[in-house]
Amino acid sequence: MEVTTDTQKEWVLACHTTDVPPNGGVCVKLGDEQVALFYFARRNEWYATQNLCPHRQQMALSRGMTGTQEGEPKVACPFHKKTFSLKDGRCLTDEHECSITTYPVKVIENKVYIGLYNPVAIM
């Protein structure tokens, strides 16, 4: 079992809080990677996931619609409406669908940072 500590995370500046439409998402370019960043204005919560929808391998999740299911935050892919938990990335509409990667987010003075576990991947 691999243990990850906070120090292994690389916090990368993504954008300003005002760049993200309330209750919506944007796509952030981090090196060669695309990360979808979501802002739940009603709950003042931020989430980040891979932008790629595993279903048909489409770079689309940032354009998806956010919402909740029994309190759990989720995003629905614009293509076929598969929905994914923003907490742990699992697919809520189809248990056989692959999960998506989620990333931690922190906001400091109106700046949004995304925590990447593997800084090498974005070099």
Binding site for ligand FES (CB under 6 A): 53, 55-56, 58, 60, 77, 79-80, 82
Q: Please say which residue, 9 or 54, places its beta carbon nearer to another protein.
A: 54
80 binds, among ligand FES, another protein, none (CB under 5 to 8 A by kind): ligand FES
21-to-26, 27, 83 alpha-carbon distances in Å: 8, 12, 20
9 vs 55 by CB, closer to ligand FES: 55
Q: Write the burial class of residue 32 (CB in 10 Å: 0-12 exposed, 13-18 middle, 19+ buried).
A: exposed
Q: Which is nearer to another protein, 81 or 87 (CB)?
A: 81
Q: In 3D, which of 105, 73, 106, 78 has the Cα closest to residue 92?
A: 73
* Binding interface with another protein (CB under 8 A): 14-15, 19-24, 26-29, 34, 37, 40-43, 54, 56-60, 63-71, 73-74, 76, 78-79, 81, 83, 96, 98-99
Contacts of 73 (CB under 8 A, 6+ apart): 38, 40, 43, 45, 47, 66, 67, 85, 86, 87
As measured in angstroms, the least distance from the Cβ of 18 to ligand FES is 28
